[in-house]
Structure formats: C-alpha cells, structure tokens
C-alpha cells in the first residue's frame, strides 16, 4: 500500500455484520491490512481505526451497507450480492470476493412445483421482495402476491402463510430439515466489494491499489 501520511484522509470500510465481516477481515489481513482494535470482543466501540494506514472500519446490518456507501459515509463496503440486488443503490460493484457463495432460490414443498409451472396466482414469502418481484413479474411473467418477512422465511409454507418462499440456500440443510426443497434457481450469490462513486474518483489510487492486492490474493486462493 502507498505509504500513508498524517494529512491523508481516512478510507472508511462498512462491513456487513456476521460471517461476511469475519471473512473480509481475514482476507484484508492476508494483504497486510489489519485492524487490531476490532479483535477485542469485549469492546462496545462501533468504529475501529488503523491509524498507520489511515483506514477506518465499522460493522453495520447488511442491508444498510449499500446505504452508507451510496451517501459516502463509507468509501468501501462489503456485502452479499443478494443485498446489492435488493437495495439497488447507486454504488459501483467492483469485486467478487469469492466467499459467501450461495443461491437465491424459489423453494417450497414438492407439491408447489405445479403451481409454478401453471403460472397460478400464488403467495410468495420473502426477505427480498424486490428480487422476488423482478423474478416473478419480469422474468416468469407470473402474477403473485409477495409477503415481506424479516427472517425464518422457511416457516411460510409450513404454517401456510405462503405457497413458496424466495430465499438464500447455502448448504440446503434448513430446507431439508423442514421438508422443503429448491423448486427454481433465481441466481448465484457471493460477497462483493462496493465503492462510493465519488470516492472511486477522489481516492482512485488507493482504491485501485487495494483492488489489485485483493485480486492477486483471490486468484492465488
Ligand atoms: C439464511 C437463509 C436460510 C439459511 C440457508 O438464513 O435465509 O434460512 O440461511 O442456509 P442453509 O442452506 O445452509 O441451511 P439466516 O441464517 O441468515 O437467518 P434468517 O432465517 O433469520 O434470515
């Protein structure tokens, strides 16, 4: 990385809380970007600084990451492509980080397959109403009722709130354990790096260097 100076502005990273953030920090460490402050699990701090590299990091709820990046409160964000599609913010998507791979799928009991084939008006429960709408209305041309949930979406067909769900499938074990299956695949997903559109110009050198180092590391993995 370019040798930072005291008057250099901080580059700020917004990381989606949870598994993605841990993986991102591991990857950043591999290219020499560390944030010791962040490792203190007892800390209630919300923002962490690497003074030497003039970098700042904060954790946010996944769906808020593109918001911070669009408004420039963070220069760089890391979040799943599901969230990028759902939030549809004005940001540059610059890199597939290669982890957090999973699929966005239409799932339900095997008996629901028919309802999809015959384009019946069905109920779809999901945390991703925009993605579900785009898939059913614009790709399948099927009119459906979309019901927004905030988690444990697999409950939808079990308690007969909905006929099917649109959700993320990683190992498939949540589906299996609840008697559901993948009925149709919408798209593959993975962790992506996004960049604020102004930062991309103003901090072009530092961001390009970061992307180069990450690409090199990902290619070796
Ligand atoms: C996600 C997703 C599925 C599950 C898929 O839920 O919504 O429920 O993981 O993973 P699997 O295929 O490996 O079983 P998450 O754990 O994020 O919680 P949520 O249900 O509250 O959204």
**Cα 142 from chain centre:** 27
Cβ neighbors of 209 (< 8 A, separation 6 or more) are 1, 2
Region 82-111: what's the mean pLDDT? 98
Instruction: Say whether both 15 and 94 belong to one domain.
Output: yes
**Predicted local confidence at residue 2, as pLDDT:** 58
Domain count, the chain: 2
**Predicted local confidence at residue 36, as pLDDT:** 83
d(CA 110, CA 165): 12
**Predicted local confidence at residue 173, as pLDDT:** 97
Separation of CA 11 and ligand 1 centre (Å): 32
pLDDT, tens only, 130-182: 999 999 999 999 999 999 999 999 999 999 999 999 999 999 999 999 999 99
**Predicted local confidence at residue 122, as pLDDT:** 97
Q: Cα–Cα distances in Å, from 132 out to 170, 185, 216? A: 18, 12, 35
**Predicted local confidence at residue 158, as pLDDT:** 97
Instruction: Say whether both 215 and 201 belong to one domain.
Output: yes
**Is 1 within the bounds of a domain?**
no
Query: Does 166 contact ligand 1 (Cβ within 6 A)?
Result: no
**Is 62 within the bounds of a domain?**
yes
Instruction: Say whether both 88 and 151 belong to one domain.
Output: no
**Predicted local confidence at residue 35, as pLDDT:** 84
Instruction: Say whether both 78 and 177 belong to one domain.
Output: no
CATH number at residue 149: 3.40.190.10
Residue 4 pLDDT greater than 90, yes or no: no
Region 87-101: what's the mean pLDDT? 97
Instruction: Say whether both 93 and 156 belong to one domain.
Output: no
Instruction: Say whether both 132 and 108 belong to one domain.
Output: yes
Instruction: Say whether both 125 and 168 belong to one domain.
Output: yes
Residue 42 pLDDT greater than 90, yes or no: no
Query: Does 5 contact ligand 1 (Cβ within 6 A)?
Result: no
Separation of CA 205 and ligand 1 centre (Å): 38
Are 210 and 98 contacting, i.e. CB atoms less than 8 angstroms apart? no
**Is 180 within the bounds of a domain?**
yes
Instruction: Say whether both 67 and 36 belong to one domain.
Output: yes
pTM of the model: 0.93
The pair of structure tokens assigned to 70 is: 């669009």
Instruction: Say whether both 40 and 87 belong to one domain.
Output: yes
Instruction: Say whether both 54 and 161 belong to one domain.
Output: no
**Is 2 within the bounds of a domain?**
no
Query: Does 109 contact ligand 1 (Cβ within 6 A)?
Result: no
Instruction: Say whether both 141 and 204 belong to one domain.
Output: no
Q: Cα–Cα distances in Å, from 153 out to 61, 120, 122, 173, 199? A: 18, 21, 16, 14, 36
Q: Cα–Cα distances in Å, from 204 out to 11, 93, 161, 174, 196? A: 11, 15, 49, 42, 11
- Domain span at residue 155 reads 102-188
pLDDT band at 3 (very low <50, low <70, confident <90, very high): low
Average pLDDT, the chain: 95
Residue 41 pLDDT greater than 90, yes or no: no
**Predicted local confidence at residue 1, as pLDDT:** 58
| Percentage, residues of the chain above pLDDT 70 | 98
Instruction: Say whether both 78 and 121 belong to one domain.
Output: no
Mutate to test the pocket of ligand 1, among 21, 166, 167, 175 (most ligand atoms within 8 A of CB): 167
Separation of CA 153 and ligand 1 centre (Å): 8
């Amino acid at each position: 990385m370019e040798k930072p100076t005291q008057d250099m502005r901080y580059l700020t990273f917004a990381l989606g809380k949870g598994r993605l953030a841990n993986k991102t920090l591991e990857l950043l460490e591999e290219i020499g970007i560390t944030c010791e402050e962040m490792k203190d699990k007892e800390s209630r701090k919300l923002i962490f600084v690497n003074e030497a590299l003039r970098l700042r990091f904060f954790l946010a709820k996944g769906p808020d990451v593109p918001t911070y990046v669009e408004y420039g409160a963070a220069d760089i964000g890391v979040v799943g492509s599901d969230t990028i599609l759902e939030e549809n913010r004005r940001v540059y998507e610059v890199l597939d980080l290669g982890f957090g791979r999973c699929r966005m799928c239409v799932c339900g009991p095997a008996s629901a397959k028919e309802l999809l084939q015959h384009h019946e008006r069905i109920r779809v429960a999901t945390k991703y109403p925009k993605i579900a709408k785009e898939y059913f209305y614009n790709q399948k041309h099927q009119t459906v009722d979309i019901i927004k949930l905030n988690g444990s979406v697999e409950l939808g067909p079990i308690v007969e709130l909905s006929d099917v769900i649109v959700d993320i499938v990683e190992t498939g074990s949540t589906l299996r354990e609840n008697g559901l299956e993948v009925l149709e695949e919408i798209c593959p997903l993975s962790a992506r790096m996004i960049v604020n559109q102004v930062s991309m110009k103003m901090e072009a050198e530092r961001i390009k260097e970061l992307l180069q180092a990450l690409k090199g590391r990902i290619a070796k993995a």
